[in-house]
Amino acid sequence: MVLERIARLFQAAQLLAISLAPSFAIWYLTTFSSSPLPRFESHLFHEFAITIATLIGGFVSYVSWRSYRESGEVFLRWLTVGFLAFTLIYAPHGLLTRTAHHNIWLFLLFGPVSRLVMLSCMAYGLAQYGKAAEDVKAVSASGFWRKVLIVCGVAVAAVAILANSPLAPSPWVRMPMETAAALLCLGGLAVMVRRRITSPLMKYYGVALLLFAQAALGFMLAKPWDHLWWLAHAIFAVGFSVVGWGVISALLTTKSFASAFSQEQLMRALEQEKELLDSLNRELWAERQLARTTLDALPDHVCVIDESGTILAVNGSWREFHEANNGDLAFCGVGANYLEVCEQAEGAQSEGARAVAAGIRAVLDGSQDGFSMEYTCDAPGEARWFLMNVRRAESAGGVRVVIAHQNISQRKEAELRLRHLAMNDGLTGIANRRAFDETLGQEWRRASRAGTPLSLLMIDVDHFKAYNDHYGHQAGDECLKAVAATLAATAKRPADLVARYGGEEFGVILPSSTLADAQALAEKMRLAIARLELPHEASQTEKTVTISIGVSCLNLAESPGALPRNGLDTQILIAHADNALYRAKTTGRNRVTAQAAA
């Protein structure tokens, strides 16, 4: 905005005017005061002022060092060195005040030397401004601070020697020091302008340099104890206070001159953060609405629980399911405890419900990430299957568990239909060859472990090709259906399996049946088929449909626990039954022949 630009320009002009005010005071004092300038020689006041300055210098040095130790900013290290050197070298200026009548230079030279050393360090630090933070411990370990103290001691000794030498009264001693101090300040300002160093605290650093330069000018024009001399001290003190204020501000904020913020910047940053926060809140609300809409659109019944098991949220499908099934939402809605409901369940589903609760607790304590299980939940007149998926999730409020119940009744019905198609013969409706092979392998292993007998019947419809040729394939299919139904009705035990082995051949698996038992059942089957009296004019055996049966039995009662050899032994049992069937067919058909496998 235009107003903000004008306000900033006005603010900068005000700051510059305040910074240059000492020059006006110097001009006024040198122009309108009597010559020579009035003097104020008070040793006690001077000692008091220098004591205060020394204490402040020591405090500011310590604060600057603490900020440097926290931030590692190279600029702050040299600022600390400047403050410390000024304090140590300037202190004798106050201590030797009362020697002014005996050796004015011993008293006087400590001032310009301390200021020159401080400004030299500040100028060098300005050249390091913006560099990456350094390793503070490594600097200390290198003996840097010990070297600083030694240099300060050497400087104090050098000033004492110079003050007692014939060179001390020469203007070429003090004046070059003040000139160098002023040039260092002006050079520092030029560097700041050229590098566009405009961070908030560095603006005040620039003000301090401008004040120090004017103080040096005052010292060059003044004589000891006159009013201009005191004014120069005051100007320098103000500059020192400004830079000291910046150091303390750094300590109280970011511990760094470079990264400190002005009030305006902070307010602008706060406004930006507020705008960002408002934007994020709007986005969060929109995302939560999207999540809620997505959750409600899911056909699965979904709820979210916390670590205690309390339901925090449910979707529309969850509510609709419980309302449709007369469920009480007080026990399964938001606020209810899902774990307690499961653990307190009664009836046929209680065992499964407690298993679910145990699984959810394992997910909550991190033992597992999640689990799935299928369960039945029948309605009156309807068989229903559900798939439960439980997954762990982390949130800002703690661990959450998402529970989804998917109705898989149609899928289970389809699976049952597919299994029926896969395991049953399409023509006769009894078990097919695949079911026969699987069941025989299972019963073989069970008989081997338990040491129980296992019998097998292999059945063939006599002269069936001739039947097809004479009556046609459709009649042949009807014949096979009738034979299959009769065989299945005769094998009445649940464990018995009647299967279509292939073509007109059938197989019957009889677990826990001895050879004699199997022969007896086989004879019943033969007679049952004969009683059907299905016409068979093309048969060379009888004028009705007949069957031949081969019986085989494996009895492991004498060696239980002998596991089969990966299906080879089942083939032996089938081979023995086939051999028995072959003998039945070659010896006249319509009969039962047995052959033990073991």
Name which of 120, 131, 119 is nearest 74 in CA terms. Answer: 131
Rounded mean pLDDT, 93-118? 86
The confidence score (pLDDT) of residue 559 equals 46
The confidence score (pLDDT) of residue 380 equals 65
CA-CA distances (angstroms) from residue 320 to 296, 314, 434, 549?
10, 10, 43, 60
Q: How far apart are CA 44 and CA 6, in angstroms?
A: 49
Q: What backbone torsions phi and psi does residue 227 show, to the nearest 5 degrees? A: -65, -35
pLDDT digits 0-9 by tens, 150-191? 999 999 999 889 988 888 888 888 899 999 999 999 999 999
Domain formed by 298-411, architecture: 2-Layer Sandwich (3.30)
The confidence score (pLDDT) of residue 568 equals 45
β-strand partners of 379: 382
**Where are the alpha helices (H) located in 196-333, listed in sequence order?**
200-221, 227-252, 263-297, 316-324, 329-332
19 and 207 in contact (C-beta within 8 Å)?
yes
Burial label for 44, CB within 10 Å (0-12, 13-18, 19+), is exposed
Tokens of 52: 């205060």
The confidence score (pLDDT) of residue 523 equals 95
376 and 385 in contact (C-beta within 8 Å)?
yes
397 against 22, higher pLDDT: 22
Q: How far apart are CA 484 and CA 478, in angstroms?
A: 10
**Where are the alpha helices (H) located in 424-472, listed in sequence order?**
433-450, 464-471
Residues 6+ apart with CB under 8 A from 417: none
Q: How far apart are CA 308 and CA 386, in angstroms?
A: 25
Helices 2-32 and 200-221: angle between axes, nearest 10 degrees = 10
The confidence score (pLDDT) of residue 300 equals 87
Give Dmax over CA atoms of the chain in angstroms: 160
| Catalytic choice (504, 505, 537, 542) | 504
Instruction: Show me where the domains of the chain are located.
Output: 18-33+41-261, 269-295, 298-411, 424-596
562 and 454 in contact (C-beta within 8 Å)?
no
Task: Give the residue carrying structure tokens 């149609």.
Answer: 410
Rounded mean pLDDT, 475-501? 93
pTM above 0.95, yes or no: no
Check if CATH label 3.30.70.270 holds for domain 424-596: yes
For the question of residue 178 being annotated catalytic, the response is: no
pLDDT above 50 for 32: yes
As separate numbers, helices (DSSP H) first and strands (DSSP E) second, the chain gives 21, 10
The confidence score (pLDDT) of residue 260 equals 65
Q: Across the chain, what does the average pLDDT equal? A: 86
| 375: helix, strand or coil | strand
Q: How far apart are CA 288 and CA 305, in angstroms?
A: 17
Top-confidence range, 130-134, 196-200, 482-486: 482-486
Q: How far apart are CA 36 and CA 30, in angstroms?
A: 9
Rounded mean pLDDT, 252-259? 76
The confidence score (pLDDT) of residue 567 equals 44
pLDDT digits 0-9 by tens, 530-586? 999 999 998 888 899 999 999 999 876 554 444 454 444 788 899 999 999 999 999
The confidence score (pLDDT) of residue 262 equals 55
364 and 394 in contact (C-beta within 8 Å)?
no
In one letter, which amino acid is 263?
Q
Rounded mean pLDDT, 286-312? 86
318 pLDDT tier (thresholds 50, 70, 90): confident
The confidence score (pLDDT) of residue 415 equals 78
Q: What is the CA 410 to chain-centroid distance, rounded?
A: 38
The confidence score (pLDDT) of residue 566 equals 43
Residues 6+ apart with CB under 8 A from 273: none
Residues 6+ apart with CB under 8 A from 354: 342, 343, 345
pLDDT above 70 for 431: yes
